[in-house]
A = this chain, B = another copy of it.
Amino acid sequence: MNGNRFGRLFQVTTYGESHGPGMGVVVSGVPAGLDLSAADVQHELDRRKPGQSTMTTSRDEPDAVTIESGLQDGVTTGTPIGMTIQNRDAQSEKYEPFVTAPRPSHGDFTYSAKFGTRNWGGGGRSSARETANWVAAGAIATKVLASQGIEIAAHVNQIDDIRAPPVDFEQIEAHTDDNEVRCAHPETAERMRERVEEYQREGDSIGGSVYFEARGVPRGLGAPRFESVEARLGQGMMAIPASTAFEFGLGREAREYTGSERNDEWGFDDAGDPTPVENDHGGVQGGITTGEPIYGEVTLHAPTSIPKEQETVDWETGEPKTVQVTGRHDPVLPPRAVPVVESVLALTLVDFMLLSGRINPDRLDGQVGEYDTDYHPENPRRNE
């Protein structure tokens, strides 16, 4: 399996290389009746695209998306949505030195070892550029979730050893994009920016992490065991290029908590339904949601493309070789990874909403055929 698919009922299928003619994504399972335009998707792509700041590669890519199918008069029809993005500013010649001399900690060698060949320009299929497809699909998922009252947000909560204090969800939603580091805590953002620039000056790069949170997730979503909410998030978040750790709820810190400290006791909410009085469990128990916020963190290692000289070998010549990766690269990944993490979260949650039959079509903003609204008042979904 090529690893280009994600989701069970909300199905994402991607293609494309960093320097190929184009990239694209097919999204199946989008409920019918959602207002959708290319602008909705473009807005999220613009948050991920290169050339945004001194902190991102200067590659000049508009990442302009076209919606090829799945709409009627600007409303989704429930059939597959095909989206395409053309590549513009490829400069493959810069990668020729690495065709048979793998860059340290890149996929150059492993792709060739697996497939016997590879598209080598710009890292080909292994390029993080391909996550543009994820963000395009995630934008649709996010819009579906928003129509159902589910909100998603993420921000950069650590770079190197600089860690942001806890920040309210509303603050994250409102201010993540205020600065180029995408940290919703301004003072910390400024310190992070300075730290990144130091490494950048040294021709080096640095790691960091992204905190994510979802609110308004209904109770009873998810599944036991291998399809638990955290298991599906674990797959998706670890699939993000450069991801080295996924933490859910208390995450790694749970090692040092006792049962009595971590256990969340039960009370009643205003509606008289059981609700946990605290949320150390991250909104999921037994793999299924409690209705409390879902949260966690993803660690992203330092970009492997650095101007510093590094040693490698050339498998053609059989000789050692010193290389410098002088392409256009980010000095730190979390700022541009924020929309990618949000997309994985949105894709995972909308998939569970479909599996639970919880999408309420009356809350989708699009207008569907008069006929239908007469016909299935009771039918909760039109998306399978």
CA distance A249 to B304 in the complex (A): 15
Indicate if A190 sits at the interface (CB-CB under 8 A).
no
How many residues from A make CB contacts under 8 Å with B?
A: 171
Partner of A80, one of B15, B84, B160: B15
Would B260 and A24 count as touching, CB distance under 8 A?
Answer: no
Indicate if A91 sits at the interface (CB-CB under 8 A).
no
Would B32 and A116 count as touching, CB distance under 8 A?
Answer: yes
CA distance A84 to B222 in the complex (A): 27
Give, as a whole number of angstroms, the nearest-CB distance from A288 to chain B: 4
Would B302 and A68 count as touching, CB distance under 8 A?
Answer: no
Contacts of A72 in B (CB 8 A): 117-120, 124
Would B301 and A3 count as touching, CB distance under 8 A?
Answer: no
Binds B, one of A47-55, A167-175, A279-287: A279-287
Contacts of A358 in B (CB 8 A): 379
Indicate if A107 sits at the interface (CB-CB under 8 A).
yes
Indicate if A201 sits at the interface (CB-CB under 8 A).
no
Of chain B, the residue at the smallest CB distance from A101 is B266
Would A112 and B238 count as touching, CB distance under 8 A?
Answer: no
A204-238 at interface with B (beta carbon < 8 Å): 204-209, 219-228, 230-238
Contacts of A263 in B (CB 8 A): 104-105, 304, 306, 310
Would B16 and A4 count as touching, CB distance under 8 A?
Answer: no
Indicate if A130 sits at the interface (CB-CB under 8 A).
yes
Would B110 and A220 count as touching, CB distance under 8 A?
Answer: yes
| A77-B119, A357-B379 known; A299 vs B252 contact (CB < 8 Å) | yes
Give, as a whole number of angstroms, the nearest-CB distance from A257 to chain B: 6
Q: Could you give 24 example pairs across A and B, Cβ below 8 Å?
A: A9-B355, A15-B70, A20-B71, A26-B26, A69-B125, A75-B117, A79-B125, A105-B262, A106-B285, A110-B286, A113-B219, A113-B288, A113-B290, A113-B376, A116-B361, A126-B286, A226-B239, A232-B235, A234-B235, A254-B301, A260-B306, A262-B304, A273-B375, A358-B379
A116-146 contact mask (Cβ, 8 Å, vs B): 1 or 0 = 1111100011100010000000000000000
Would A2 and B6 count as touching, CB distance under 8 A?
Answer: no
Binds B, one of A147-155, A178-186, A240-248: A240-248
Indicate if A303 sits at the interface (CB-CB under 8 A).
yes
Contacts of A84 in B (CB 8 A): 22, 24, 68, 84
Q: Top 10 A-B pairs ranked by shortest CB distance?
A: A107-B286, A116-B372, A234-B238, A15-B82, A3-B227, A357-B357, A110-B288, A234-B234, A78-B115, A205-B259
